[in-house]
């Protein structure tokens, strides 16, 4: 309906366009909170090592089976704008730290639930937002207070961090094998920049192939190129290979303009064709002169050049992706050359072995046994395609948390330990703040406890009993790392028992959840414009009344 108002003389004035809907005040807030909470409810059952999976079927009928928060929200087609904000939290969490997406969304959902109870008591949203902001800052202080600094060469701790992130995934018995690979891969690509360690997991290539089992997932000290050797006469394997990377075409460029060549003598015709062949021969000679055993070309390779290279026993692959070229350069130490005339021996990279292998239906080039690669590949295997996908998600989580710890070497206890400690500190802090903000800070404390509560529920335990046990354990001296063992239902020291998480994951989850909850709470009016039928300017999209009307 269009929004009308009237002037003093009773003349109607159209404010909003025909078809616009508007919700305001309490109704708008309730709708937004409800939509955001629904997203939290969807993810709640996937939290923790006993979390369940979701089966998602898209509009094309493709199936995804996972309990990875980010993957679930990516697949769900969300309509409501407030719910879309929850999807954004998970995306931010995933992009920034790679893990803790479910935690962030479930926490944001619970913050809104607690806020709704206070809104019903007529507490103004601005007071809630201000209280939540103070509580989030205090929570991050608590995290840093109880954080434990680790040595990044301490492999045992890194393994615990990786295993904690994989624990809820469906990879079961292979989790330790995947965690070990993740640590080796991240340590290999980590580099010192100034006084900081940087571990960019984009330098780790994940290649998925169905067949064999999860336990045959392997780390390649080099790169896998999803291409085959261009000519059957070329060797399929080279030891101690010298590698040339070209991003120019090994073929003669066709001219853009239409040119005409007049040939009056048959011998001139032959000379013209021979000239083209000799130009192509010069190309292959330049590659041979540089001493390269294998050429990776980003563009095309002419059939004639393939023939000449095959005669020289040089391997070649064409139309290699730019991202693979960059990884090959990092792995082998080669320089990507744009002009063939510039190709020198010093531009070549080295690999202990380059081999074309057939995996399933596809042929792939394995560039491995590189000396000190700054880019590596992980070949993920499993019997089912869905399982390969889930193993990839588990591997990405493990790589992310290991790189988080290498870049910022602090950890906290998992299993709800850090959340209970935050809640305890916040309740003490709330009384010092006083006023109505105190209620918002206490609400934040209650909301944070949703994590241990959900872990208990998903493990089939009594949430109330677990919360009481955890709170009393944290009241004792030195109890700040006491968390829940989901499998036994007992409270124990999380750090000692190896359930640990990077500090940055927890910090980011709290920041994202508090920010999005605050943003949703501040909205008191939702005005939705209705798209005209047939799109802009289409039927019904023009001016009301049509032509000829005054």
Q: Which residues are catalytic?
A: 68, 101-102, 397
What's the CA gap between 197 and 98, in Å, rounded?
A: 18
3-class secondary structure, 538 = coil
Distance separating alpha carbons of residues 167 and 164, to the nearest angstrom: 5
Burial class (CB in 10 A: 0-12, 13-18, 19+), 142: buried
CA–CA distances in Å: residue 275 to residues 236, 271, 437, 500: 31, 6, 84, 68
Bridge partners (DSSP) of residue 376 are 204
Cβ count near 217 (within 10 Å)? 24
Cβ neighbour number for residue 177 with a 10 Å cutoff: 15
Strand partners, 491: 484
**Cα separations (Å) of 32 from 72, 73, 111, 379, 524?**
21, 17, 13, 43, 9
User: What is the distance between the alpha carbons of residues 241 and 352, in angstroms, rounded to a whole number?
Assistant: 6
CA distances from 483 to 150, 179, 470, 474, 496 (A): 19, 22, 7, 9, 10
Q: How far apart are CA 240 and CA 472, in angstroms?
A: 63
**SS3 (DSSP) at 484:** strand
* Closest alpha carbon to 227 in 359, 364, 331: 364
Angle in degrees, 0-180, between the axes of helices 437-448 and 417-433, rounded to the nearest 10: 170
The pair of structure tokens assigned to 71 is: 């993957």
**How crowded is residue 21: how many other Cβ atoms within 10 Å of its Cβ?**
12
Number of H helices, E strands in the chain: 16, 23
Q: Which of 207, 237, 201, 236 is nearest to 219 (CA)?
A: 207
Contact 100, 512 (CB under 8 A): no
What is the spatial distance between Cα 4 and Cα 17, in angstroms, rounded to a whole number?
Answer: 10
Q: Are 337 and 244 in contact (CB under 8 A)?
A: yes
Q: Minimal CA–CA distance to 94: which of 516, 515, 505?
A: 505
DSSP 235-292: -SEEEEEEEEEE-S-BSPPPPSS-------SHHHHHHHHHHHHHHHHHHHHHHHHHT-
Angle, helices 463-475/450-458, rounded to nearest 10 degrees:
130
C-beta of residue 329 within 8 angstroms of C-beta of residue 335:
yes
């Amino acid at each position: 309906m269009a929004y009308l108002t009237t002037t003093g003389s009773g003349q109607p004035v159209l404010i909003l366009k025909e078809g616009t809907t508007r919700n305001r005040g309490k109704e708008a807030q309730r709708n937004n909170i409800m939509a955001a909470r629904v997203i939290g409810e969807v993810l709640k059952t996937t939290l923790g090592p006993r979390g369940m999976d979701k089966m998602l079927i898209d509009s094309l009928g493709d199936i995804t089976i996972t309990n990875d928060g980010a993957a679930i929200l990516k697949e769900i087609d969300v309509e409501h704008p407030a719910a879309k904000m929850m999807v954004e939290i998970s995306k931010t969490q995933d992009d920034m730290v790679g893990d803790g997406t479910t935690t962030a969304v479930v926490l944001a959902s619970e913050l809104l639930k607690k806020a709704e109870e206070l809104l019903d008591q007529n507490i103004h949203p601005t007071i809630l937002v201000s209280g939540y902001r103070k509580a989030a800052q205090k929570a991050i202080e608590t995290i840093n207070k109880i954080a434990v600094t680790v040595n990044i060469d301490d492999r045992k701790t890194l393994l615990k961090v990786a295993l904690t992130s994989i624990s809820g995934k469906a990879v079961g018995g292979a989790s330790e094998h995947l965690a070990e690979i993740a640590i080796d891969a991240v340590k290999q690509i980590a580099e010192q920049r100034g006084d900081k360690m940087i571990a960019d997991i984009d330098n780790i290539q994940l290649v998925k192939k169905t067949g064999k089992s999860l336990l045959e997932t392997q780390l390649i000290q080099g790169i896998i190129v999803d291409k085959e050797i261009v000519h059957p006469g070329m060797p399929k394997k080279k030891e101690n290979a010298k590698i040339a990377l070209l991003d120019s075409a090994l073929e003669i460029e066709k001219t853009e303009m239409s040119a005409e060549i007049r040939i009056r003598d048959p011998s001139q015709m032959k000379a013209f064709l021979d000239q083209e062949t000799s130009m192509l021969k010069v190309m292959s000679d330049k590659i041979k002169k540089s001493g390269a055993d294998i050429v990776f070309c980003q563009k095309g390779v002419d059939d004639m050049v393939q023939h000449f290279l095959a005669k020289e026993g040089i391997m070649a692959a064409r139309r290699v992706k730019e991202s693979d070229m960059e990884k090959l350069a990092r792995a082998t130490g080669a320089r990507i050359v744009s002009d063939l005339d510039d190709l020198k021996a010093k531009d070549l990279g080295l690999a202990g072995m380059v081999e074309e292998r057939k995996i399933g239906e596809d042929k792939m080039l394995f560039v491995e046994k590189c000396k000190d690669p700054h880019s590596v590949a992980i070949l993920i295997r499993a019997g089912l395609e869905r399982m390969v996908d889930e193993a990839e998600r588990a591997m990405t989580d493990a790589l992310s948390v290991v790189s988080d710890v290498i870049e910022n070497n602090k950890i906290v206890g998992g299993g709800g330990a850090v959340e209970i400690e935050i809640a305890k500190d916040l309740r003490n802090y709330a009384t010092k703040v006083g006023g109505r903000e105190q209620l918002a800070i206490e609400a934040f404390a209650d909301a944070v406890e949703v994590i241990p509560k959900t872990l208990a529920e998903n493990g089939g335990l009594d949430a109330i009993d677990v919360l009481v046990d955890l709170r009393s354990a944290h009241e004792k001296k030195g109890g700040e790392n006491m968390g829940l063992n989901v499998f036994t239902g007992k409270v124990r020291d999380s750090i000692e028992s190896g359930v640990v998480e990077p500090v940055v994951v927890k910090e980011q989850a709290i920041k994202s959840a508090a920010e999005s909850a605050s943003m949703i709470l501040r909205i008191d009016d939702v005005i939705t414009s209705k798209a005209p039928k047939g799109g802009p300017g289409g039927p019904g999209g023009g001016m009301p009344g049509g032509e000829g009307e005054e």
